Amino acid sequence: MPLFDNQTQEYGIRENLTSAVADRFVKDNTLKVVNEKITDSILHGSITKYIRESHTFDEQENIKEYIVRIWVNVWFEEKKSKKIIWKDDNREGWGIYCVKDCVDESGNPKPDETEDDGKQRAIEKLAEDIVNRTVKGW
């Protein structure tokens, strides 16, 4: 699987997303990740947009949570014929992270998070969606 292209200024995101998708394929085990020279099909992708924006606020209107959104164009094609099996433009993955007064599902305090936490959640969501879309017909 070739590296995703990166049309954003976000350093390292193409490697992280490509790795997350490959790891998800290995975990799913429906299709194998192999060298491009011997594969029957290829997954291509391009990261087109990355944004971080405020998501929730506390009573004093201070930001409590941010959301990271990542958009990709992705397509899966037969290698020999170049026939596109599926294509999805503007697929979005998102991840929320807490920066103030964070609590877990039980209401217990937890450490504040960083943008990297939100980015990783968005990447994992994209990887899951891409693999599910690719293997659902197998």
Per-residue pLDDT of 68-103, as tens digits, reads 999 999 999 998 999 999 999 999 999 999 998 888
Indicate the Cα dihedral angle 80, 82, 83, 86, nearest 10°: 110
**What pLDDT is recorded for position 137?**
63
CB contact at 8 A, 122 and 94: yes
| Residue type (1 letter), 103 | V
Q: Write the pLDDT tens digit of every residue in 26-57.
A: 999 888 888 777 888 999 999 999 999 999 99
What CATH number is given for 5-135 in this structure? 3.30.160.150
Predicted pLDDT at 138: 60
**What are the extents of the domains in the chain?**
5-135
How far apart CA 105 and CA 123 sit, in angstroms, is 22
